[in-house]
Amino acid sequence: MGLLSSYRLRWHRRRLLIRAWLSRRDMTLVADRSAGQAEDAIFAFTTLRNEKIRLPYFLRYYRDLGVNHFFMVDNGSTDGSLEYLRDQPDVSLWQTGASYKKSRFGMDWLSHLLRRYGHGHWCLTVDPDEFFVYPFCETRPIRALTDWLDTTQIRTFAAMLLDMYPKGPITDQAYREGQDPFEIAQWFDSGNYQISRNRAYGNLWIQGGPRTRIFFDETPKKAPALNKIPLVKWHRSYAYISSTHMMLPRGLNLAFDEWGGEKASGVLLHAKFLDTFAAKAVEELTRGQHYAASAEYKAYQEGLSNHPEVWCKWSEKYINWRQLEILGLMSKGNWA
């Protein structure tokens, strides 16, 4: 790592932070209930659009884990998400009509909020369809994890995205508001991921899973990234680069062990393949607000029309985090 490249990365980070700062004008405050949060409160940061149906379970899940406060940005929802969130006692809400794409897929907005409210706190940045699973999550609240990370002086915690899907065509079972999405989407791919190291930013790049298997089997390079670093002890100088896949400064990306050992890590269960997905794919295609000209959604639509079932006979049925640990998708590391 030469002086020049570290200088370049420093400017990259500054640029991201400036973008985030400028994007504050896009957002209008709807409700700020963040005052009086404890010094060690744990925060969640989310941006969303038309996710009303998912929100009740999402909030319940993270409240149960022990998240103290939610910072959310609503990007022009028309389904009542805004009204619903406005009335939640532990949600601070902003509204924006600006372009999702132009704000680096919402990251500019969240970066601004992270910098302003997240400094010194453990911050979990997740989408409304991502559910954080970590070692011992059924017996230990998230604070047990963050306390342990604090004592071992770890600043970031990796959790790869694990796409969950139902058995049978994804439109067969309708998702009801408030329902646990993993009652329907119970299945996942256990061992078909491609991992490589991104030397420029020091992170791992993970692809694969059902999305590669079905939608990107001819163009695996274009398959979406699954590596994520959602849980960070935030400092105002940090910045996410693309979604929560990687960060600057680079050292934060080193959430994996290079010398043969295993660091602790979790998984983000991704409740994407529900019956709501087909409609979402059509909508996102017309909006064209997603990554790489929504190539992902194009591939999905083609894939889904001639291959409506994601499930295969080697799919694994989700039981709990221990199962994911045995399968090697996450690790306890030295947390016992």
Residue labelled with tokens 């992270």: 114
Choose one: 14-22, 138-146, 173-181, 241-249; the region binding another protein (CB under 8 A).
138-146
Cβ pair 227, 244 in contact under 8 A: no
Please give the residues from 168 up to 187 whose contact with another protein meets the rule CB under 8 A: none
Candidate list 78, 196, 286, 305; residue touching another protein; CB under 8 A = 196
- Buried residues in 283-311 as b, exposed as e (16+ CB within 10 A): ebbeeebbeeebebbbbbbebbeeeeebb
- Token code pair at residue 275: 């019956």
Contact 111, 239 (CB under 8 A): yes
CB of 104 to another protein, least distance (A): 23
Report the residue from 85, 184, 185, 206 that binds another protein according to the rule CB under 8 A. Answer: 206
Cβ-based nearer residue to another protein, 139 or 305: 139
- Interface of this chain with another protein, residues 225 to 244, rule: CB under 8 A: 227
Nearest Cα neighbor of 66 from 144, 14, 128, 181 is 144
Task: Please report, as residue ranges, which positions from 15 to 74 form the binding site for another protein (by CB under 8 A).
Answer: none
Taking CB under 8 A as the criterion, the residue among 139, 286, 305, 306 binding another protein is 139
Of 5, 219, 237, 242, the one binding another protein by CB under 8 A: 219
Q: Give kind and range of the element (H or E) at residue 19.
A: helix 3-22
Residue whose CB is less far from another protein, 56 or 66? 66
Q: How far is the CB of 205 from another protein (least distance, A)?
A: 10
Q: How far is CA 177 from CA 58, 72, 130, in A?
A: 10, 19, 16
**Of the candidates 195, 200, 279, 293, which one interacts with another protein according to CB under 8 A?**
195
Of 29, 78, 313, 317, which one interacts with another protein (CB under 8 A)?
A: 313
Q: At closest approach, how far in Å is the CB of 307 from another protein?
A: 12
Which of 320, 14, 46, 32 shows the shortest CA–CA distance to 186? 320
Decide if 265 contacts 160 (C-beta within 8 A).
yes
Out of 217, 282, 302, 322, name the contact with another protein by CB under 8 A. 217
Compute CA distances 129 → 57, 100, 162, 163, 264, whole Å.
Answer: 10, 17, 11, 10, 23
Member of 194, 198, 301, 323 binding another protein (CB under 8 A): 194
Six-digit token string for 226: 């699954």
Q: Which 239-278 positions form the footprint of another protein (CB under 8 A)?
A: 255-265
Cβ(231)–Cβ(157) under 8 Å? Answer: yes
Span interacting with another protein, options 1-9, 203-211, 244-252, 290-298, rule CB under 8 A: 203-211
Given its phi and psi angles, is residue 162 left (phi above 0), alpha (psi -120 to 50 degrees) or beta?
A: beta
- Cα–Cα nearest to 112, from 14, 21, 203, 214: 21
Q: Which of 82, 160, 170, 225 binds another protein (CB under 8 A)?
A: 160
State the Rg of the chain over Cα.
Answer: 19
Binding-residue total with another protein (CB under 8 A) = 60
Give the residue from 318, 277, 265 showing the smallest Cα distance to 301.
277
- Please identify which residue in 168, 178, 191, 308 interacts with another protein, judged by CB under 8 A: 191
208 vs 224, which CB is nearer to another protein?
208
User: Does residue 302 belong to the site contacting another protein (CB under 8 A)?
Assistant: no
Q: Which residues here bind another protein, judged by CB under 8 A? A: 136, 139-141, 143-144, 147-148, 151-152, 158-160, 189-197, 204, 206, 208, 210, 212-213, 216-221, 227, 255-265, 312-316, 328-336
